[in-house]
A and B are shown apart, each in its own frame.
Chain A
Amino acid sequence: MSEKAHAASGITGAAPTNAAPASESEQTYRQLFQAIDTGFCVIEVIFDAAGRPIDYVFRDANPAFEGQTGLADAIGKRIRVLAPGHEEFWFETYGRIVRTGLPERFEHQADALGRWYSVYAFRIGRPEQHRLAVLFDDIKGRRSAEEALRHSEERQVFLLKLSDTIRFRTDPMTIQQAAARLLGEHLDVSRAFYFAVRRDADGYVHVVERDYFSRPDLPSMVGEYPQKAYGENFFSALARGEAAVMADIRVAPGVTEDALRLYSAARVRAWISMPLIKRGNFTAGLVLVHDQPRYWTSAEVGLVKDVAERTWAAVEQARAEAALRATEERFRQFAEASSGALWIRDADTLSMEYASQAITGIYGVEPEILLGDVKRWAAVIVPDDRDVALEHLEQARRGEAAVHEFRIQRPSDRAFRWVRNTNFPLFDESRRVQRIGGIAEDVTDAKLAVEHQGVLLAELQHRVRNIMAIIRSITSRTGERAESVQDYATLMAGRLLALARVQALLTRAANAGVGITALVHDEVNVQAQCEGQFALEGPEISLSPKAAEILTLAVHELSTNALKYGALSVRSGKITVRWSTFDKRGGTWLSFDWTEEGRLLGQSTLNAPRRRGFGTELIEGRIPYELGGRGQLDIRPEGATCHLEFPLKAGGSVLETGAPQRATVFGGALDMTGEPDLSGRRVLVVEDDYYLAADVARALKGAGAEVMGPCATEAAVLIELNECGADAAVLDINLGPGPSFGLATTLKEQHTPFMFLTGYDLKAIPEEFADIERLEKPVQLRHIIGVIADLIRAEEVSCNRRQC
């Protein structure tokens, strides 16, 4: 086309003013230019006095010109008039072409026309005419696509950088800080900051808590900004979720003087304010501010929107994570502080995922030991309670909470302990049981205390009933001997009071023996008329409850008798009580003497019993019977004498009862108390059932044995036996696919005695092993211990014989 244009020079370029007769070829070219879409025009460049190109005038144009420029009736008009603000570039370029006569091809924008042009311009006519022919195409569409592509790439690079910057930040504030800085620097603005939104009676208030990104020479933006004061109309888009964009507040229509002053003071002229609408509410926003007028591009507005959304998401995530961390930290502290052990299992596999440190206090092992496969835990439970404990997990898996108690044998010291587990389902969003949570407590002490309480209660009941029996006995005996109803009532009252004093003494405190001196003194003193009527001589001795009881009652009978008939019945009477200890039959005995003296009234002869009196029976019958000693009472006219002797036994308060009580937990099938002692014996356990293997091993350990294995395969057995021999072995015949007697043969050759654990009948066992001891599953663990002990004994005997 350019060649054609050249050809046309001087012909088509002819202005209408100096029109020349058109040749045929000229006519042809004119038709061509009339027809083409490319814009074509002839311009005359105008120079000022100094020779600078300052304007140009359109002299001719083809029909496409108007479409390509948007200029109508341009002919004869200056471009400066048609498009003020036309770039200097155009004048300089056309001026140069006029001067040099060299054609130029270029692309440039013409913003005043809103176009981008691809241009070819060349000089026509005479040089002093300053005329150019210009062929041009509007390429704005193409340029916009390129521009968009470039922006999009830049945008992607920026957003990538943004996400790299904020990705690993966990604090919401630093995420916002970093994003504001990146965005502010990228778009070269004076400020970038986030604000929160509050709504009060006057409308929205933007609350800026910090400056985030701000050029250092600018005043702080921290504060509250009621939209009313700053011109609500500028921000009305925000509540709808759209950006509010301002290019220059100073030329904006409708801004009040007051608002303008506020903006000026804050050095704010242009902005993009991007709202964040969350859950239907305008809750926050991201703002870019410039202190100069700024014509924001849609790409910039889009970028601010992207950044606002992304940082919001990151901030929300960080907040959620922080909240989660706080929750987890609280849970951790709670779990660590709790004396109950907290644990969590996966509901599908029952695998233990978490156990707090307190589990160590209960199970005696680090939490890690119990993590994973549920068998690790279940094997610690005594066999008697295991199935029920597992069933409780199933119950939680079905969505029911449950509290249950079971016994474990603590692996650390093999003690049997009671554990109380509270199991509860943990649901996911869809109400499916995802995990099972639990709290474990060691309730052994509480259980033993309750048991002990029960024992004490039973003992109390026993004692009360015994006392009732004794009272009944005393009642009937007193009744048989009383001389009158009055006498009966007096005697009964005295005896009951004595019995009550004994009870008070005996139940005074646990582990407190009863001192003999106080006991005798109190009983005599109750009856004596004045001090000095009796003398007590003897060492302080602590009496067992039974001795204290009988001695109290005996002294009571003696002093009542003395008051009625003996030394206490006259003022001149005197009682001397002496006691001491002596050795007899390899033990310490108490010798106790009661002597009365004084001028008596002689009524004592009345007491000469028609039948043996209550006091006599007590002293001469009860002391030998219950204390294993002897007692002798002589009642003579000059006063009574009594001699008692019985062995002293240690004994605490009746509260320390001999009633059956257990200071330890009964371990059920695993409890080897009273079973043969296998200390120092090495016993090999070959059994492929996990629980049975664990139980047999623990039973053997409970009996003191050292356990080899348990082994589940023959190969494992051979490795064990290679390291050291066994004193005996427990052998499961059926390892894996079917019965196998290879190991039995090996053990027999090594003279290692063994027994079979089997589910098979006798026919399945080869002749040579027919006499081997065989326990059928399910086995009593105690039986295994018994058989192993027998085997070891027998082997020792035959070994000695072999050596002989």
Chain B
Amino acid sequence: MAPVDAELVGRCLLVVEDDYLVASDLASTLQEYGAEVIGPVGTVEGALALIDEEGENLAAAVLDINLHGERAFGIADVLNARHVPFVFVTGYSAGSIPTPYADHPRCDKPVDMRQLVRVLRELTAAGWPD
């Protein structure tokens, strides 16, 4: 359906999203763009485990902020520490996201998939800025 975009091909992307329907949509879309999807996973615990497992393979991550009431910022911190870029996918507006994360790339729900792909492409192409 969606055009295969060479730039996501082979990219190993983690999807963290607690809603099953949204998660599987995200996963299938990213797969259509050629990415290898890790997850999707709906809990902080599960996400951290997958990050550990994947290690260096991980190119980027898509993070929902509210995971069954739990915040995803712990995951964000770990990704930061590992220099893995990520994009928030959330229903929250910038104003209700704590300052350290407020300026981070963000795609509002419901997600415009083309926008998400574009952001992920930029994140994975530019690498992690120091």
Q: Kindly provide the distance from the CB of A620 to the nearest chain B CB, expressed in whole angstroms.
A: 11
A626 to B91 Cα, complex, angstroms: 18
Cβ of A464 within 8 Å of any chain B Cβ, yes or no, is yes
Q: Kindly provide the distance from the CB of A19 to the nearest chain B CB, expressed in whole angstroms.
A: 138
Residues of chain A within 8 A (CB-CB) of B22 are 466, 469-470, 473
Q: Kindly provide the distance from the CB of A507 to the nearest chain B CB, expressed in whole angstroms.
A: 16
Cβ of B32 within 8 Å of any chain A Cβ, yes or no, is no
Chain B 43-84 near chain A by CB (<8 Å), digits 1 or 0: 000000000000000000000001011110000000000000
Residues of chain A within 8 A (CB-CB) of B108 are 465
Residues of chain B within 8 A (CB-CB) of A468 are 109-110
Looking at the complex, which one of A454, A463, A546 makes contact with B91 (CB distance below 8 Å)?
A463
Q: Kindly provide the distance from the CB of A452 to the nearest chain B CB, expressed in whole angstroms.
A: 12
Cβ of A330 within 8 Å of any chain B Cβ, yes or no, is no
Cβ of A253 within 8 Å of any chain B Cβ, yes or no, is no
Residues of chain B within 8 A (CB-CB) of A461 are 91-93, 96
Looking at the complex, which one of A466, A472, A546, A622 makes contact with B68 (CB distance below 8 Å)?
A546
A660 to B22 Cα, complex, angstroms: 23
A469 to B22 Cα, complex, angstroms: 6
Cβ of A658 within 8 Å of any chain B Cβ, yes or no, is yes
Let me know if A469 and B111 touch, CB within 8 A: yes
A477 to B21 Cα, complex, angstroms: 9
Residues of chain B within 8 A (CB-CB) of A622 are 20-21
A625 to B39 Cα, complex, angstroms: 11
Cβ of A23 within 8 Å of any chain B Cβ, yes or no, is no
Let me know if B93 and A621 touch, CB within 8 A: no
Residues of chain B within 8 A (CB-CB) of A626 are 18-20, 42, 68
Cβ of B25 within 8 Å of any chain A Cβ, yes or no, is yes
A466 to B68 Cα, complex, angstroms: 12
Cβ of B31 within 8 Å of any chain A Cβ, yes or no, is no
Cβ of B98 within 8 Å of any chain A Cβ, yes or no, is yes
| A546-B68, A625-B20 known; A458+B93 contact, CB < 8 A | yes
| A458-B95, A470-B19, A474-B21 known; A658+B110 contact, CB < 8 A | no
Q: Kindly provide the distance from the CB of B85 to the nearest chain A CB, expressed in whole angstroms.
A: 23
Chain A 608-630 near chain B by CB (<8 Å), digits 1 or 0: 00000000000001100110000
Most buried by B among A471, A472, A476: A472
A477 to B40 Cα, complex, angstroms: 18
In the complex, residue of chain A having the shortest beta-carbon distance to the beta carbon of B23? A625
A441 to B66 Cα, complex, angstroms: 36
Residues of chain A within 8 A (CB-CB) of B111 are 469
A466 to B42 Cα, complex, angstroms: 14
Let me know if A462 and B66 touch, CB within 8 A: yes
In the complex, residue of chain A having the shortest beta-carbon distance to the beta carbon of B111? A469
A469 to B21 Cα, complex, angstroms: 8
Let me know if B98 and A462 touch, CB within 8 A: no
Cβ of A455 within 8 Å of any chain B Cβ, yes or no, is yes
Q: Kindly provide the distance from the CB of B89 to the nearest chain A CB, expressed in whole angstroms.
A: 9
Q: Kindly provide the distance from the CB of A546 to the nearest chain B CB, expressed in whole angstroms.
A: 7
Residues of chain A within 8 A (CB-CB) of B20 are 621-622, 625-626
Cβ of A659 within 8 Å of any chain B Cβ, yes or no, is yes
A461 to B71 Cα, complex, angstroms: 17
Q: Kindly provide the distance from the CB of A84 to the nearest chain B CB, expressed in whole angstroms.
A: 113
Looking at the complex, which one of A476, A546, A625, A657 makes contact with B25 (CB distance below 8 Å)?
A476
| A465-B109, A546-B68 known; A470+B21 contact, CB < 8 A | yes
Instruction: List A residues 432-483 near B (Cβ within 8 Å).
Output: 454-455, 458, 461-466, 468-474, 476-477
Looking at the complex, which one of A454, A458, A470, A658 makes contact with B70 (CB distance below 8 Å)?
A658
Let me know if A469 and B109 touch, CB within 8 A: yes
Let me know if B24 and A621 touch, CB within 8 A: yes
A252 to B46 Cα, complex, angstroms: 121
Let me know if B96 and A458 touch, CB within 8 A: yes
| A454-B96, A470-B21, A477-B21 known; A659+B66 contact, CB < 8 A | yes
Let me know if B71 and A660 touch, CB within 8 A: yes
A626 to B66 Cα, complex, angstroms: 13
In the complex, residue of chain B having the shortest beta-carbon distance to the beta carbon of A654? B69
A461 to B91 Cα, complex, angstroms: 7
Most buried by B among A455, A473, A546, A657: A473
A455 to B96 Cα, complex, angstroms: 7
A704 to B90 Cα, complex, angstroms: 39
Most buried by B among A468, A471, A474: A468
Residues of chain A within 8 A (CB-CB) of B23 are 625
A232 to B24 Cα, complex, angstroms: 111
| A458-B95, A461-B93 known; A472+B42 contact, CB < 8 A | no
A514 to B126 Cα, complex, angstroms: 48
Q: Kindly provide the distance from the CB of B101 to the nearest chain A CB, expressed in whole angstroms.
A: 11
Looking at the complex, which one of B66, B96, B110 makes contact with A469 (CB distance below 8 Å)?
B110
Residues of chain A within 8 A (CB-CB) of B95 are 454, 458
In the complex, residue of chain A having the shortest beta-carbon distance to the beta carbon of B89? A469
| A465-B108, A469-B111, A626-B19 known; A659+B96 contact, CB < 8 A | yes
Q: Kindly provide the distance from the CB of A228 to the nearest chain B CB, expressed in whole angstroms.
A: 84
Residues of chain B within 8 A (CB-CB) of A477 are 21
A468 to B19 Cα, complex, angstroms: 12
A658 to B42 Cα, complex, angstroms: 16
Q: Kindly provide the distance from the CB of B14 to the nearest chain A CB, expressed in whole angstroms.
A: 15
A658 to B68 Cα, complex, angstroms: 8
Q: Kindly provide the distance from the CB of A752 to the nearest chain B CB, expressed in whole angstroms.
A: 38
A476 to B110 Cα, complex, angstroms: 13
Instruction: List A residues 346-369 near B (Cβ within 8 Å).
Output: none
Residues of chain B within 8 A (CB-CB) of A463 are 91
Q: Kindly provide the distance from the CB of B94 to the nearest chain A CB, expressed in whole angstroms.
A: 10
Q: Kindly provide the distance from the CB of B108 to the nearest chain A CB, expressed in whole angstroms.
A: 6
A398 to B111 Cα, complex, angstroms: 55
Let me know if B66 and A465 touch, CB within 8 A: no
Let me know if B92 and A472 touch, CB within 8 A: no
Residues of chain A within 8 A (CB-CB) of B21 are 469-470, 473-474, 477, 622
Q: Kindly provide the distance from the CB of A668 to the nearest chain B CB, expressed in whole angstroms.
A: 14
A465 to B111 Cα, complex, angstroms: 9
In the complex, residue of chain A having the shortest beta-carbon distance to the beta carbon of B70? A658
Let me know if B18 and A462 touch, CB within 8 A: no
Chain B 12-30 near chain A by CB (<8 Å), digits 1 or 0: 0000001111111100000
Residues of chain A within 8 A (CB-CB) of B92 are 458, 461-462, 659
Let me know if B91 and A466 touch, CB within 8 A: yes
In the complex, residue of chain A having the shortest beta-carbon distance to the beta carbon of B108? A465
Residues of chain B within 8 A (CB-CB) of A621 are 20, 24
Residues of chain B within 8 A (CB-CB) of A474 are 21
Residues of chain A within 8 A (CB-CB) of B66 are 462, 658-659
A464 to B108 Cα, complex, angstroms: 11
Residues of chain A within 8 A (CB-CB) of B93 are 458, 461
Residues of chain B within 8 A (CB-CB) of A458 are 92-93, 95-96
A657 to B95 Cα, complex, angstroms: 17
Residues of chain B within 8 A (CB-CB) of A466 are 19, 22, 91, 109
Residues of chain A within 8 A (CB-CB) of B91 are 461-466, 469
Q: Kindly provide the distance from the CB of A618 to the nearest chain B CB, expressed in whole angstroms.
A: 8
A260 to B53 Cα, complex, angstroms: 126
Looking at the complex, which one of A470, A473, A660 makes contact with B98 (CB distance below 8 Å)?
A660
Q: Kindly provide the distance from the CB of B68 to the nearest chain A CB, expressed in whole angstroms.
A: 7
A251 to B91 Cα, complex, angstroms: 109
Residues of chain B within 8 A (CB-CB) of A660 are 71, 96, 98
Most buried by B among A458, A625, A626, A659: A625
| Interface positions of B (Cβ within 8 A of A) | 18-25, 40, 42, 66, 68-71, 90-93, 95-96, 98, 108-111
- Report, nearest first, the 8 A-B pairs whose CB atoms are least far apart: A658-B69, A465-B91, A458-B96, A462-B91, A473-B21, A622-B20, A469-B110, A465-B109
Known: A458-B95, A470-B19. 5 other contacts (CB 8 A): A461-B92, A461-B93, A469-B110, A474-B21, A621-B24
Identify 27 residue pairs between A and B in the complex whose beta-carbon atoms are under 8 Å apart, listed by A's number: A454-B95, A455-B96, A458-B93, A458-B95, A461-B92, A461-B96, A462-B90, A462-B96, A463-B91, A464-B91, A465-B90, A465-B91, A466-B22, A466-B109, A469-B22, A470-B22, A473-B21, A473-B24, A476-B25, A622-B21, A625-B23, A626-B18, A626-B19, A659-B66, A659-B96, A660-B96, A660-B98
